Chains A and B, each alone.
Chain A
Amino acid sequence: MSDDAIPEFGSKAAGGGVGLGSVSLGAGGGRTLAEIAVILLVAVVIIGGLEFLLGWYQVPEYVLPKPSAIAAAFVKELPNVAPHWGYSVVTLLSGFGIGAGIGLLLAAVITQFPFVEKVITPYILILVTTPMLALVPLLILRFGFGYTPRIIAVSLATGPMVMINAATGFRRTDSAKIALARSYGASVLQIFWKIRAPMALPMILVGLMVGGIFGLLTTVGAEMAGGGFGLGNRLTTYSSMIRMPEFFAVILILSGMGILIYVIFFLIGKKWASWET
């Protein structure tokens, strides 16, 4: 066999710092300070350029407000917007929590029964691909204008997405690793927590991240569909009043929330799932 192979010490061990590699979660990865500086510079150029061009061509504010106007509106309106921000966060977190919880549980259980999984998967796929936003008018009819229809819609949007990704993760059974645990007398539960779950974690995180973004989308959409509160409601209100700087200030908050969701799961992935390259 490899009797005369050349020793391969150190080669791999020396290279690659710990856990800096990018996770399968996305385009991220390690960035140097210089790269970050360039990214910030680009932002400054774009914002400055917009400010200048919108002023130069005297673009009316109801078409596209200047960045400075948006910033001013953001600061001025923040006290009025903040409660709505809170309502949206409540909707998103509850819907996401319920949906992701059920999705994870279903994925963990169903992957243990291949037949059940085969039968259920097409239906889950339909749930993933159907925009749950479409159900909101119906849910409002049934549950009124409160949190309930929104939270249901958000959990319907996140749950199946989390489930389908987590199921993919749980299905990646490495029989040798399971055999290893079994050889030490591991119980079914130990095999789940010590082998299956960590092996599925990278896929679970992908599901949670995409599900989170889906949830944000559905939150805003459901809030736009009815009920007098939430950031989505602010969007419809401001646009009907042609208060464009305030409108864009809310958009800014929403994209901030989206980025936050991405960053949170990216960081979790980097910490706990960076073993998979």
Chain B
Amino acid sequence: MTTRLSIRDVGKRYGDVEALKGCSFDIEAGHIVAIVGPSGCGKTTLLWGMSGLHSLTSGEILLDGERITRPRPEIGLVFQEANLLPWRTIGKNIRFPNEVKRTRPDEAWIAHLLARTDLTEFQNRMPRELSGGMQQRAAIVRALALRPEVLLMDEPFGALDAFTREEMNRLVEEIWLENPTTIAFITHSIEEAILLSDRVVVLSARPGRVLSDYPVPFPRPRDHEIMASREVFELTNAIKADIYSQTPASRKAMTA
């Protein structure tokens, strides 16, 4: 297995707020890694560092052994909010990356993605005419449309209802099974993390570092039977316990 992304002793401060400190882990090529952790622990900060959107205070992040210092064409990013451009129609939002890169959009692929996300009829609508969940789906289509080799997603399905969320999870799984790219995504849903990922990385409270790193060895596609199994249940509880150990209340209880 080759390492695609390598996060090495990464630290990031915003003024006197220390968001990340000594955060290290690797992501193998063709793996899906879920990043979980308490709110405000620096997950978004880490992902922006991986995408080359902002600089690090210390440490480095490597893509194929090469230090990331600016956005890389191999990497696609889905933002925490849909982040659609409100003055463009959905269709033009989805083709915005091609416009910036001056490349021809892969229309057949886009049509397929739109159909899978139930957005085909909404191409000519403005973002404000869509519900929050639909906007987020459009943002995911925008990222997938370029077929990035490495996909980074910041709580991509957080705004979606449970049914749509599962639908989207299946879409990602299906696309990944066809063509196993490297995916790192942040989520607040442990179930989602286990359903999709090869590994779950748990970050500590701020400043974020790796608290624990669980392999998720279940075969794919992970149907309801697997997701209801004893092993999944135990893994869920272990991850939950790690995250709860990082909430202010429990940390106070531990030091008291």
Chain A min CB distance to B176 (Å): 21
CB pair A182–B162 under 8 Å, yes or no, is no
Whether a CB of chain A sits under 8 angstroms from the CB of B1 is: no
Chain B min CB distance to A194 (Å): 7
Chain B min CB distance to A164 (Å): 22
Whether a CB of chain B sits under 8 angstroms from the CB of A8 is: yes
A171, B165: Cα distance in complex, Å: 36
SS class of chain A's interface: helix, strand, loop or mixed? loop
Query: Which A residues contact B (CB, under 8 angstroms)?
Result: 1-13, 16, 18-19, 176-177, 179-186, 190, 194-195, 198-199, 201, 272-273, 275-277
Q: Out of B73, B100, B163, B188, which one reaches A1, CB within 8 Å?
A: B188
Whether a CB of chain A sits under 8 angstroms from the CB of B222 is: no
Interface centre among B51, B87, B164 (most CB of A within 10 A): B87
Residues of B near A185 (CB, < 8 A) are: 71, 73, 100-101
CB pair B131–A9 under 8 Å, yes or no, is yes
Whether a CB of chain A sits under 8 angstroms from the CB of B83 is: yes
Residues of A near B126 (CB, < 8 A) are: 18-19, 275
Which residue of the partner chain B has the closest CB to A180? B83
Whether a CB of chain A sits under 8 angstroms from the CB of B216 is: no
Q: Out of B122, B155, B161, which one reaches A13, CB within 8 Å?
A: B122
A66, B256: Cα distance in complex, Å: 90
CB pair A4–B162 under 8 Å, yes or no, is yes
CB pair A176–B132 under 8 Å, yes or no, is no
Interface centre among B51, B99, B128 (most CB of A within 10 A): B128
Chain B min CB distance to A200 (Å): 11
Contacts of B135-176 to chain A: CB distance below 8 A: 155, 158-165
Query: Which B residues contact A (CB, under 8 angstroms)?
Result: 48, 51-53, 71, 73, 75-77, 79, 81, 83, 85-87, 96-97, 99-101, 122, 125-134, 155, 158-165, 188-189
CB pair B51–A183 under 8 Å, yes or no, is yes
A179, B70: Cα distance in complex, Å: 11
CB pair B160–A2 under 8 Å, yes or no, is yes
CB pair B131–A183 under 8 Å, yes or no, is no
Residues of A near B53 (CB, < 8 A) are: 179, 182-183
A4, B97: Cα distance in complex, Å: 33
Contact flag A184-B97 (CB < 8 Å), given A3-B189, A9-B134, A13-B122: yes
- 9 contacting pairs across A/B (C-beta < 8 A): A2-B158, A8-B132, A11-B131, A13-B129, A13-B130, A18-B125, A190-B100, A198-B87, A199-B87
8 closest A-B pairs (Cβ-Cβ)? A184-B100, A8-B131, A275-B87, A275-B86, A184-B97, A7-B161, A5-B161, A198-B87
Chain B min CB distance to A271 (Å): 11
A183, B73: Cα distance in complex, Å: 8
A29, B163: Cα distance in complex, Å: 38
Residues of B near A186 (CB, < 8 A) are: 100
CB pair A184–B71 under 8 Å, yes or no, is yes
CB pair A276–B86 under 8 Å, yes or no, is yes
Which residue of the partner chain A has the closest CB to B77? A183
Chain B min CB distance to A274 (Å): 8
CB pair B79–A10 under 8 Å, yes or no, is no
Interface centre among B76, B77, B129, B155 (most CB of A within 10 A): B129
Contact flag A10-B158 (CB < 8 Å), given A180-B83, A190-B100, A201-B87: no
Chain A min CB distance to B91 (Å): 14
CB pair B133–A180 under 8 Å, yes or no, is no
Chain B min CB distance to A180 (Å): 5
Residues of B near A12 (CB, < 8 A) are: 128-131
Chain B min CB distance to A18 (Å): 7
CB pair A7–B128 under 8 Å, yes or no, is no
A90, B246: Cα distance in complex, Å: 71
A177, B82: Cα distance in complex, Å: 10
